[in-house]
């Protein structure tokens, strides 16, 4: 079945990696790597993608979950970046991923008389018109009373009026995983838990990579005409491993978000609030709000950036300036920290560093791409493949991913109209079917088929009733989940949506995954204890005052992938 990432496909992928020669090997399973694999495969190239951990396990599962033009880039006069991003947002909403990307409204509270409304309106007018056609409503101006009706949670004194505008949002980890599965559907070999540990060379050019299976320790060499480094904040590490000098440097900037229950902020709309350095978003997320983000330098463990008490206090302090009923630490259900791969410029402040991306052929046979933002991943991917063309035999076809819907998009709109019939057929509430459609689109039939002989799988998880048991089985059989963490943190978002952070359903999830992966009791217990230790380490790190002590706490937890090698020493 096209696009399936299960145990059989995993074994077959290993065999193919060791025996075939590829046009391109893509390193990194974040959104840019997955997008690059899709771009190359749909141009007719033979492609392999390898990822040391899990799809979207780094930055691509820890974003603000927005497909947005980047309103604040207008102020920095980055018109090109905004126009490009708005065009991508429109493509996602309409053609490429309507099942995964949805419109979301934001209220921009006005706090200054006279100048602020016309200034902001002019910016939003540009925002509304720059991307060409658009399927979201334009800006709407509100008096103070109108804004308070839309967002009763605001302090009356925190605004004099407001403007509502629209952007789009998506579950970033699911979207990235779907891009990777779509690439597999078009013939790319996708393999996670497969770490690059070296580069192979012929004369002066890079001719492939040496990889290490972090589940069992096996190694092999992959032959390729070109290699593309799409590792985000790890770009420099991979660069050193290849022995060639980088053309640009990547700095990691930490962004922390908190998740609170929906009833803690009474509002019909998201919020965008100005801070002294940047902006703060309050984003609707099912029956929660996501509040973020921070923007600070991070020079410690790249795999597990830790949120400190200071980060969380910063978010609470800034959001509470606008809220009539303040949020407290007790309201927080989840916390996550991600790292933006920013291109290091001369400027020292990370919020000022460019979100433009850079792509370079750093050595014959090796291309690196970094910077950019989640929304423009498709443009970045096309640029990366174009840059590799010098090392590819034959003429390269142009990129066509603006015409390639992601898996689950085809037929989605019809299914939305058939929610009641679908629900009746499977004995599910229409609300539940809608939730499934917004996660799987037309692949929902594949998901529900797994429960035909096991109707108990259509029951919710006991400690995380937003999700059905069948979703855990499908995550393992079709979506490439290999460990509890993959399922609880990325295939579902249980790790940030429930105060127990997934600990209370780890045992049930381990049993369901184990039934697909053939785990014995010892493996089941190890998976549960590793996940519990991860959550405990994260909770501990969030009580520490600074990055250094938080990192020490977070790094104490064991890795889910037993054979993972630490990045090569940076000598």
Phi, psi for residue 118 in degrees, rounded to 5: -65, -35
Strand pairing partners for 155?
Answer: none
Please check whether residues 338 and 312 belong to one and the same domain: yes
Please check whether residues 99 and 199 belong to one and the same domain: no
Q: What is the C-alpha to C-alpha distance for residues 88 and 73, in angstroms, rounded to an integer? A: 16
Please check whether residues 39 and 184 belong to one and the same domain: yes
Please check whether residues 476 and 549 belong to one and the same domain: yes
Please check whether residues 229 and 377 belong to one and the same domain: yes
Domain membership flag for residue 178: yes
Please check whether residues 55 and 156 belong to one and the same domain: no
Domain membership flag for residue 275: yes
> What's the total number of domains in the chain?
3
Domain membership flag for residue 2: no
Is the distance from CB of 404 to CB of 42 less than 8 angstroms?
yes
Domain membership flag for residue 269: yes
Q: What is the C-alpha to C-alpha distance for residues 336 and 23, in angstroms, rounded to an integer? A: 37
Please check whether residues 157 and 264 belong to one and the same domain: yes
Please check whether residues 235 and 377 belong to one and the same domain: yes
Q: What is the C-alpha to C-alpha distance for residues 335 and 246, in angstroms, rounded to an integer? A: 34
Please check whether residues 226 and 261 belong to one and the same domain: no
Please check whether residues 240 and 230 belong to one and the same domain: yes
SS3 string, 77-103, reads CCHHHHHHHHHHHHHHHHHHCCCCEEE
Strands (E), 214-295: 219-229, 250-261, 270-274, 279-285, 288-292
- Which CATH number is 511's domain given? 1.10.8
Task: Collect the ranges in the chain with pLDDT lower than 50.
Answer: 346-348, 568-571
Q: What is the C-alpha to C-alpha distance for residues 466 and 565, in angstroms, rounded to an integer? A: 35
Please tell me the predicted confidence (pLDDT) of residue 567: 61
- Which CATH number is 51's domain given? 3.50.50.60
| Full DSSP string of 505-558 | GHHHHHHHHHHHHT--HHHHHHHHHHHHHHHHHHHHHTTSSSHHHHHHHHHTSP
Where a domain ends, among 292, 324, 352? 352
Residue 82: domain span: 78-169+251-352
Q: What is the C-alpha to C-alpha distance for residues 155 and 525, in angstroms, rounded to an integer? A: 49
β pairing state of 270-274 and 279-285: antiparallel
Domain membership flag for residue 39: yes
Half-sphere exposure of 535 (CA within 13 A, CB side): 23
Please tell me the predicted confidence (pLDDT) of residue 80: 86
Domain membership flag for residue 371: yes
Please check whether residues 337 and 364 belong to one and the same domain: no
Helices and strands in the chain: count of H runs, count of E runs: 20, 20
Q: What is the C-alpha to C-alpha distance for residues 526 and 139, in angstroms, rounded to an integer? A: 52
Tokens of 249: 């440097």
Domain membership flag for residue 33: yes
Residue-wise burial string across 442-459, b where 16 or more C-beta atoms lie within 10 A, e elsewhere:
bbbebbbebbeeeeebbe
Domain membership flag for residue 47: yes
Where a domain ends, among 314, 329, 352? 352
Alpha helices (H) along 98-193: 116-130, 144-150, 172-185
Residue the block writes with tokens 């039934």: 515
Residue the block writes with tokens 């109108």: 146
Is the distance from CB of 318 to CB of 273 less than 8 angstroms?
yes
DSSP class of residue 489 equals I
Please tell me the predicted confidence (pLDDT) of residue 131: 78
Is the distance from CB of 27 to CB of 206 less than 8 angstroms?
no
Please tell me the predicted confidence (pLDDT) of residue 345: 61
Q: What is the C-alpha to C-alpha distance for residues 433 and 420, in angstroms, rounded to an integer? A: 8
Half-sphere exposure of 570 (CA within 13 A, CB side): 7
Checking 399-404 for CB contacts under 8 A at 24+ apart, the result is 399/39, 399/42, 399/43, 400/42, 400/43, 401/35, 401/38, 401/39, 401/42, 401/96, 402/91, 402/95, 402/96, 402/378, 403/95, 404/38, 404/42, 404/96, 404/182, 404/186
Phi, psi for residue 143 in degrees, rounded to 5: -75, 175
Instruction: For Cα atoms 3, 5, 8, give the angle at the middle one, nearest 5 degrees.
Output: 115
| CA dist list (Å): 290 to 69, 169, 283, 357, 496 | 19, 12, 5, 26, 10
Please check whether residues 274 and 244 belong to one and the same domain: no
- Which CATH number is 139's domain given? 3.30.9.10
């Amino acid at each position: 079945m096209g696009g399936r990432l299960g145990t059989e496909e995993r074994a077959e992928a290993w065999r193919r990696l060791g025996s075939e020669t590829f046009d391109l090997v893509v390193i990194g399973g974040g959104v840019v790597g997955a997008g690059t694999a899709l771009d190359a495969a749909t141009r007719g190239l033979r492609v392999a993608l390898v990822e040391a951990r899990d799809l979207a396990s780094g930055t691509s599962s820890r974003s603000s979950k927005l497909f947005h033009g980047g309103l604040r880039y207008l102020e920095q006069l980055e018109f090109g970046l905004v126009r490009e991003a708005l065009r991508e947002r429109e493509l996602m909403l309409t053609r490429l991923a309507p099942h995964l990307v949805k419109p979301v409204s934001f209220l921009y509270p006005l706090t200054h008389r006279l100048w602020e409304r016309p200034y902001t309106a002019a910016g939003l007018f540009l925002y509304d018109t720059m991307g060409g056609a658009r399927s979201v409503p334009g800006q709407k101006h509100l008096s103070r009373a109108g804004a308070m009706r839309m967002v009763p949670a605001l302090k009356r004194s925190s605004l004099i009026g407001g403007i509502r505008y629209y952007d789009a949002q998506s579950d970033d980890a699911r979207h990235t995983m779907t891009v990777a599965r779509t690439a597999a559907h078009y013939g790319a070999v996708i393999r996670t838990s497969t770490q690059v540990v070296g580069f192979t060379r012929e004369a002066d050019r890079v001719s492939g990579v040496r990889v290490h299976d972090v589940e069992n320790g096996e190694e092999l060499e992959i032959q390729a005409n070109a290699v593309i480094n799409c590792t985000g904040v790890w770009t420099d590490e991979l660069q050193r491993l290849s022995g060639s000098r980088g053309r640009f440097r990547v700095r990691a900037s930490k962004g922390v978000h908190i998740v609170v229950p929906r009833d803690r902020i009474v509002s019909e709309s998201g919020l965008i609030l100005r801070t002294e350095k940047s902006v703060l978003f309050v984003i609707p997320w099912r029956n929660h709000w996501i509040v973020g983000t921070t923007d600070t330098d991070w020079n410690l463990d790249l795999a597990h950036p830790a949120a400190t008490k200071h980060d969380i206090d910063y978010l609470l302090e800034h959001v509470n300036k606008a809220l009539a009923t303040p949020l407290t630490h007790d309201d927080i259900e989840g916390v996550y920290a991600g790292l933006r791969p920013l291109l290091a410029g001369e400027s020292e402040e990370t919020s000022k560093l460019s979100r433009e991306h850079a792509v370079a052929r750093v050595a014959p046979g090796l291309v690196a791409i970094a910077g950019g933002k989640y929304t423009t991943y498709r443009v970045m991917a096309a640029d990366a493949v174009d840059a590799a063309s010098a090392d590819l035999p034959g003429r390269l076809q142009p990129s066509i991913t603006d015409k390639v819907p992601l898996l689950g998009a085809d037929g989605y709109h019809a299914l939305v109209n058939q929610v009641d019939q679908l629900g009746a057929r499977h004995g599910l509430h229409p609300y539940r079917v809608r939730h499934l459609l917004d996660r799987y689109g037309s692949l929902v039939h594949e998901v529900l088929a797994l429960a035909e002989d096991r109707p108990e799988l259509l029951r919710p998880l006991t400690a995380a009733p937003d999700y059905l048991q069948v979703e855990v089985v499908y995550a393992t059989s079709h979506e490439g989940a290999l460990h509890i963490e993959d399922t609880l943190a990325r295939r579902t978002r249980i790790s940030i949506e429930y105060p127990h952070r997934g600990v209370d359903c780890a045992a049930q999830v381990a049993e369901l995954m184990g039934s697909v992966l053939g785990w014995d009791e010892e493996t089941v217990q190890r998976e549960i204890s590793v996940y519990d230790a991860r959550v405990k380490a994260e909770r501990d790190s969030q009580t520490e005052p600074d990055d250094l002590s938080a990192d020490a706490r977070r790094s104490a937890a064991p890795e889910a992938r037993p054979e993972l090698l630490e990045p090569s020493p940076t000598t």
